[in-house]
Structure 1
Amino acid sequence: MAKVLPILLIVVCAIVGKVTAVDDWWEYGHFYQVYPRSFQDSDGDGIGDIKGITMRLPFLKSINVTGIWLSPIFKSPMKDFGYDISDFREIQPEYGTMEDFEELLARGRELDIKIILDFVPNHCSDQHEWFQRALNKSDPEHQKYKNYFIWNEGKPGRDGKKLPPSNWLSIFRGSAWEWVDDLQAFYLHQFLEEQPDLNFRNSKVVEELNEVLRFWLRKGVDGFRIDAVPFIFESKEKADGYYDDEPRSGECNDDPLASCYLNHTETKDQDETYDMLYQWRRVMEEPEFDGHTRILMAEGYTSVVNTLRYYGRIENGEIVENGTQIPFNFLLLSNTWMSTGTYGFIQNILDWVNNLPEGAQANWVLGNHDNKRIATRYKPSRTDLFNILLKTLPGVTVTYYGEEIGMTNVFVSWEDTVDPQAIRTSRESYEWFSRDPERTPYQWNSSTNAGFSSANKTWLPIAPNYTECNFALQSRQERSFLKNFRDLMFLRNNSPAMKYGGLQIVPVDTEVMVYKRSIAKDPNADIIVVILNLEGNTKTIDLNAHLDALPKEMTVAVASIHSEELVKGQTVYTSAVKVTPDVGIVLIDKKTTSPKPSFKPDSDSDHETEAEPVSAPSFVNRTKKFFRNLVKTVKKIFSKVWL
């Protein structure tokens, strides 16, 4: 055996040296968030479902998604539309059956679209068996399940009435502590009172959730997006049996019941949170799930420093213990608005890029189910501009459903509002809190209910502009948001500079920013230049005054549909590029082949057309897969020999 070891060492080193240049499936990927309730209704009840998603997978293939992240599809009373889970291993009946989900997985494999599930560990529904048994004092395992949650007998108040053990506030307003008279105790809920927090200092809870992950991994899912990461742990109970109060934030001073009234020093970002993420990464890499990388995404509205720790345990700028592959970068989402100028955008981009640990990939997010849509947030005429920004920065991108066609927020009346964050306020103020406007049904075509459903009434209203803004229409138009989106995706998948190139980004002034993607020391590689004009003035720009080593001429690869001067395929001099207001332009070195013509459907139908293949040749993909599997096999052999 001793003689075999040196040979194996050489083989492992040689193969790893080559394979490190081979991308794993998720790297530089394009992920797409599907809000199941609003994507496609297949059975006419006005609510989107799993069969509807399966039906629309060819569309998702046509825009070249790497994987889709599904907002929760698990059994739930729907108090928070799936984020209150009553059974982590069952499908919500109005979304379909387990067989429907397995069919979705199978169809996803056929089309090479990965399926990512939402994992909601911080809390469960108050209808979950665990909580029901915790409430039932006659249950023989009452105490076991009571310990799955966080309880406190509270502080003594006037007239014998108990007060909460701290001033902590729920994200959805009011105290985060709910009194249960039968148990003479409060339980913690950082969200709705119907969403009791789980106790992650209880090892049985940790193992229960680990088994939930394993259950779905065995089904064949490709990863998870972890919800509300900062809230998983809270500070420990003090020696006096209570908890430290949280200090005033200085915000929302006229609304002491609002979550923003306090600075959440005791209920967010506790050190144990990061260790929990690293443990879940170890579950993803257990031998049972070897052979195919499973990924973790992490949602956390927190500081850059905290979010970067989601990547893993970092020492001297390097990751020494793996965490999540894609900790959502919310800097642009949280810190930029319609009025933000170029310096603000560039600062937020560099704050992320310049602080990445060695070996980590950047990621970019501009929309999700909790925030205004791009077209509403930045104005509709900038839809192309911000899709260009999202798709041309280095690393992984995440697109919220409908952004590829420029869907906007929809007005939802007080009577039609269903978001718990809004209905807990008032008719006068609910619009400030409601997330319903960005969750309305997808606009597929100009037929009844935008092709989303045949029901008389949909769960949320259809956008009134659906006949002017829909997938089928934009598939037929000569220039559209959808066609630009597809061209961007072609460029991402086929230009080495878009995947591996560095980033040189500068402000021309407060209104225009430019950046270059190129591979240093490779004269044969593409050069990509992006120009974004954020304001209302036409500008003529000498790119050579701002970016290094540009060719004399370049070709327009993508141009906003509102561009009055430049269109796709046009050649321009880099010394004088004229860009009109609210327009984004992507230029490519003209010696490189520019994107193929945009996909055109065979008919007016928005169903039947399969995607035009734009990924690497199948031989290359098979070769990559062969080498990955070979490395893993050799590592296993090596480990056995070593032992």
Structure 2
Amino acid sequence: MKLYFILPLLFLLGQVQCQERELEWWETTVFYQIYPRSFKDSDGDGIGDLNGITENLEYLKELGVGATWLSPIFKSPMYDFGYDISDFYDIQDEYGTIEDFERLLAKANELDIKIVLDFVPNHGSNESVWFEEALRGHEKYLDYFVWEDGVVDENGVLQPPNNWISVFRKSAWEYREEVGKYYLHQFVIGQPDLNYRNPEVVNEMKNVIRFWLEKGVAGFRVDAITHLFEVDKELYGGKYPDEPLSGDLNADPLSYNYLRHIYTSDQDETFDMVYQWREVLDEFKERDGFSRVMMTEAYSSPQVTMRYFGDGEREGAQMPFNFVLISDVNGDSTAEEIKYALDKFLTFKPINKLANWVAGNHDNNRVASRFSPELVDGINMIVLLLPGIAVTYMGEEIGMVDGFVSWEDTVDPSGCNTDDPINYWTASRDPERTPFQWNSDKNAGFSTADKTWLPVADGYETLNVEVQKGVERSHLNVYKTLVLLRAESTFRYGRYESVALNSDIFAFRRWHNGVNYVIIINLRNKSYNVDLTYFENVVGNLEVVVSSIQSPKTAGQVLEAGAVDITGYESLVLRVV
């Protein structure tokens, strides 16, 4: 074949190869998690609410955020601050009303911000109508929960059915005289587990999903999914078996880590239920062409986590949460350990699925406290510029730190159940839930109340949104720049490779259609001169696109790829020019 025939053919093949598929909204947006109780109080009672969120949606728009996931807002006695739901079809009074929620949705739609709700399917509340009816002997609702007979010990004393332990310590069983049996609660006593071996429960929870989808929500984050099913006791003679010891020498007999939870987590039926919920979401997509998203919370092995994506025939969650930046690494981790953690999810995930990245949430210490305040920008670079979906917990964009919450002010059951006024803080989740820091006014601008539900963190007078808006070099402005940058084709469609240049320097490259970016993060307070020509096609001059707030470099500055000076804790986004 003549050369002049070959060249056009190669050109056409190249065009086909470089075609970029149209991405769905959830594949490109930044998800921003709001813990409603702590975001903004609109009525002065010291508790954040829906109207406080509605009034500040423009802030999310300024960030470049396109979707917000709200921690639970449903009717609840608040033993676990909304994760013990007494009515899945209504709003908790202190957060507002259904009408307030509808106004929130309408305002969000005006700003093109999607609303994602927390779906808490594993358990309800012992103050729900369902549970109250169960105690009255109503057969339908009795079977909504998991009941078991107790066992009588050698002293004639009734004991729980087996050795199962709650995530929040102590027995996972609670006796009710009205029924003459124990009910299962894998979390606090006020959270009785729902019985998913009952088809009526399955249908009820699908109806909950449909109810909120009809309201206009864009999807759900599914809480504590690993606990949804317990082993089928009929396989064990009609009795739930004891769980084996974990072998953890540091765990006391009342703690969750004392046992290996082979009968109460990651059961095969759980994945099938996720696939069924996806079918419900897809009912709505088929109706109007708009995808609803599902995120699943599972602190599981990569092999287990990947099953939430689907089984090859049926679709599951679009976003099985990737917690490696929370569970696998921290401020003591080396660059090699960071690389290993990040590569893990990318290695295990199906080739046709997207990764997702999250560095903080309402259950774990904030990035500035778990890593260091100096690494806030670097971690945000990782979350926002790696291939896949980005999720930000409120406050990470300004580098909020964990607040100090005294034993007297502690309200989180995870901390209170330690019964330990000295070491309670190691289990309490209150520090990462302290009120959002808007400005330097009273209570950081969160509330006009004399007392807020949790105390505001120290240092809010200088660490807040208003201050960071008013200066050129701030975590907030770095974050906004990164969100804009991730909209480029290189970060939406580009390839990825990473390297630990040494134990302190982690770097990764994103490239697409001849455009090359290198992101470099120094994890320690030590200076280095590094050669970035390790990366293919990274040669010559590099332009600084984004620099962390403590960096001496500014946007537009040009560096030599073969010899880049990196100061302590410096993080940079560089582009080959």
TM-score by length of 2: 0.95
1:384 equivalent in alignment to 2:377: yes
Q: How does 1:69-468 map to 2 (within 5 A)?
A: 69-137=69-137, 142-238=138-234, 239-251=236-248, 253=250, 255-286=252-283, 289-313=287-311, 319-425=312-418, 426-468=420-462
Aligned length: 558
TM-superposed deviation, 1:154: 2.0
1:575 equivalent in alignment to 2:562: yes
Amino acid at match of 2:342: I
- Where does residue 627 of structure 1 map in the other structure? none
Per-residue Cα deviation, 1:432-482 (whole angstroms, up to 9, x for no partner)? 111000000110011111111111111110112011100010001120000
Return the alpha-carbon distance in structure 2 between the equivalents of residues 513 and 358 of structure 1: 24
Per-residue Cα deviation, 1:129-166 (whole angstroms, up to 9, x for no partner)? 111100013xxxx1111111111112232344332222
Contact 1:252 1:258 (8 Å CA) reproduced:
no
Return the alpha-carbon distance in structure 1 between the equivalents of residues 270 and 345 of structure 2: 21
Amino acid at match of 2:353: A
TM-superposed deviation, 1:513: 1.5
Amino acid at match of 2:472: E
Query: For 2:522, which of 533, 540, 547 is the aligned residue?
Result: 533
CA RMSD after TM alignment: 1.5
Aligned to 2:294, the other structure's residue is in SS state strand
- Where does residue 510 of structure 2 map in the other structure? 517
- Where does residue 4 of structure 1 map in the other structure? none
Return the alpha-carbon distance in structure 1 between the equivalents of residues 225 and 530 of structure 2: 43
Contact 1:516 1:527 (8 Å CA) reproduced:
yes
Per-residue Cα deviation, 1:29-73 (whole angstroms, up to 9, x for no partner)? 210000000000000111000000011100000111120000000
Aligned to 1:404, the other structure's residue is in SS state coil
Aligned to 2:272, the other structure's residue is in SS state helix
Amino acid at match of 1:562: Q
Return the alpha-carbon distance in structure 2 between the equivalents of residues 289 and 297 of structure 1: 21
> Taking CA–CA contacts closer than 8 Å with sequence separation of 6 or more, which of the two structures ends up with the larger relative contact order?
1
Amino acid at match of 1:196: P
Return the alpha-carbon distance in structure 2 between the equivalents of residues 254 and 574 of structure 1: 50
Q: How does 1:14-33 map to 2 (within 5 A)?
A: 21-33=21-33
Per-residue Cα deviation, 1:306-331 (whole angstroms, up to 9, x for no partner)? 11111111xxxxx3310000110012
Q: How does 1:481-520 map to 2 (within 5 A)?
A: 481-493=475-487, 495-519=488-512
Return the alpha-carbon distance in structure 1 between the equivalents of residues 398 and 126 of structure 2: 38
Per-residue Cα deviation, 1:105-146 (whole angstroms, up to 9, x for no partner)? 111111111000000000001011111100013xxxx11111
TM-superposed deviation, 1:19: 10
Runs of 4+ in 1 over 6 A off after TM superposition: 17-20
CA 1:69–1:289 in structure 2 vs 1: closer, same or farther (change >3 Å)? farther
- Where does residue 560 of structure 1 map in the other structure? 548
Contact 1:498 1:528 (8 Å CA) reproduced:
no
CA 1:241–1:320 in structure 2 vs 1: closer, same or farther (change >3 Å)? closer
Amino acid at match of 2:290: H
TM-superposed deviation, 1:536: 2.1
Contact 2:539 2:562 (8 Å CA) reproduced:
no
Per-residue Cα deviation, 1:397-424 (whole angstroms, up to 9, x for no partner)? 1100000000000110011110011111
Return the alpha-carbon distance in structure 1 between the equivalents of residues 201 and 288 of structure 2: 25
Aligned to 1:26, the other structure's residue is in SS state helix
- Where does residue 8 of structure 1 map in the other structure? none
- Where does residue 57 of structure 1 map in the other structure? 57
Amino acid at match of 1:77: P
Return the alpha-carbon distance in structure 2 between the equivalents of residues 446 and 332 of structure 1: 30
Contact 1:513 1:532 (8 Å CA) reproduced:
yes
Query: For 2:471, which of 477, 480, 497 is the aligned residue?
Result: 477
Identity of aligned residues (%): 48
Return the alpha-carbon distance in structure 1 between the equivalents of residues 544 and 100 of structure 2: 43
Q: How does 1:616-631 map to 2 (within 5 A)?
A: none
TM-superposed deviation, 1:576: 1.3
Contact 1:505 1:515 (8 Å CA) reproduced:
yes
Per-residue Cα deviation, 1:529-569 (whole angstroms, up to 9, x for no partner)? 1011111211111100x2111141121111111113x2222
Contact 1:28 1:394 (8 Å CA) reproduced:
no
Amino acid at match of 2:192: P
Amino acid at match of 1:338: G
Return the alpha-carbon distance in structure 1 between the equivalents of residues 377 and 384 of structure 2: 10
Aligned to 1:321, the other structure's residue is in SS state coil
Amino acid at match of 2:495: G
Return the alpha-carbon distance in structure 1 between the equivalents of residues 297 and 111 of structure 2: 27
Per-residue Cα deviation, 1:579-638 (whole angstroms, up to 9, x for no partner)? 111111001234xxxxxxxxxxxxxxxxxxxxxxxxxxxxxxxxxxxxxxxxxxxxxxxx
Which structure 2 segments of 5+ residues have no match?
1-16
Contact 1:40 1:48 (8 Å CA) reproduced:
yes
